[in-house]
Amino acid sequence: MSKPNFEFLDALGQIARDKGIAVETLLDALANALVAAYKRRPDAAEEAVVTIDPESGEIRVYGQELDEDSNVIREWDDTPKDFGRIAAQTAKQVILQRIREVERDLKYVEYAGREGDIVTGIVQQTDNRYTLLDLGKVEALLPQAEQVSYERYEHGARLKAYIVEVRKTTKGPQIVVSRSHPGLIKRLFELEVPEISSGAVEIKAAAREPGHRTKIAVWSNDPNVDPVGACVGARGSRVRMVTNELRGERVDVVPFSDDPVELIQSALAPARVREVRLNDDTGTATVIVSDYQLSLAIGKEGQNARLAARLTGWRIDIKSETQLAEEEAGYGGEEWAEGEWVQNEAGEMVWQPAEGGDAVSASQWSEGAGATEGADEAPATADEAPATADAAPATADAAPATADAAPATADAAPASADEAPAGEGAA
């Protein structure tokens, strides 16, 4: 190849156009490979450089002599006579390798900034560890941790997934996707709801238990647009499309509010909340509902309450009106000892006060409780004393009643005396 080779350049240009690679990139890669091939010869110079004329395709090898500072002090043409054959073999290997590298780089660049996007793929392979999706030019990896537990992915089925990570590897980009990420819900609604794509409606928060239920809080930036109605669609058409893609997962759409009380009330729908009490120090919201709404507010296995807590960012404690009344009546004003039951060295359970001090055994605890109960009964007896004292006047008041009755008895005496003569007369 020390002579002009226009056919070589034409072939190189055709490959570059077909694969989307610059001709200069291929020429540089080929020159570096030819230097390595030249240095494997026994009579090769210690330092060398290969030049390829981009106009004629002529290849030349120049041996170099360098000084201590790596400056070239002498250079000569050292192109081997049989270098054309070596160049041809090397060119084929280098070009194929470079094409693969460039294709991998292009694929990576295409997906590198797409974390958070949604893609549609065809299921290619499924096992216990992962599922492979064919995205066209590349394959995506759906790990078991990112799958929905009850979903089964059949070969050839089309599937939408959420890109969580794009990794660059020696074999090309590795795209990790998810079916359980909350972001999948947001992207699906963007596809189905034009108001979200245009920015008129915003998904402020989302909470999801994959395969079971999802709650999203939506906000409208346009006063003329109802955010919940836009997401639900006519007769639920839009939210139904999302549910179908999620294979039956229930989706609740609630209005977002900057007021935590209103947001918590909406998040617990379909339950109706009577009152919300917020504790900013602990981040706890105590929610009061009617007795018949308690199970609805908590949900199956606490699902509704969990999703509402994730959606709002508050720790939610749900109580019925009866429970609240019992707590306020039974525990009002009482103080509770802080501590815990622990096992001592002898294996006995003892009460260890939180503020420190000696531990109390179970028997000592019982004796202390009995003493406390006796002490509690004493005031009750003392309280009864006034009640007895109050009864004294009542007895005193009854005395006149008895005294008033005395004359009545005295009046009856003459009646008996009058009867005596009557008796005598009869006799």
Determine which helix (DSSP H) or strand (DSSP E) holds 276, and give its type and residue range.
strand 273-279
Topology adopted by domain 6-111: N Utilization Substance Protein A; Chain:P; domain 4 (3.30.1480)
* Regions of the chain where pLDDT drops below 50: 1-2, 372-427
Burial of 217 (0-12, 13-18, 19+ CB in 10 A): buried
Report the 10 Å Cβ neighbour count for 237: 10
The verdict on pTM exceeding 0.75 is no
Do the beta carbons of residue 158 and residue 120 sit within 8 Å?
yes
d(CA 25, CA 9): 13
CATH annotation of 264-330:
3.30.300.20
- Residue-wise pLDDT for 202-259, tens only, equals 999 999 999 999 999 999 999 999 999 999 999 999 999 999 999 999 999 999 999 9
Which distant-in-sequence residues (6+ apart) come within 8 Å of 95 by Cβ?
Answer: 12, 15, 26, 29, 30
What is residue 344's DSSP assignment? -
* Domain boundary assignment for the chain: 6-111, 113-178, 181-256, 264-330
Burial of 281 (0-12, 13-18, 19+ CB in 10 A): exposed
pLDDT score at 389: 38
Q: With the C-alpha atoms ordered 301, 307, 312, 315, is the resulting torsion angle positive or negative?
A: positive
Domains 6-111 and 181-256 share a fold: no
d(CA 99, CA 15): 9
pLDDT score at 240: 94
pLDDT score at 36: 84
Topology adopted by domain 181-256: GMP Synthetase; Chain A, domain 3 (3.30.300)
CATH annotation of 113-178:
2.40.50.140
Report the 10 Å Cβ neighbour count for 321: 15
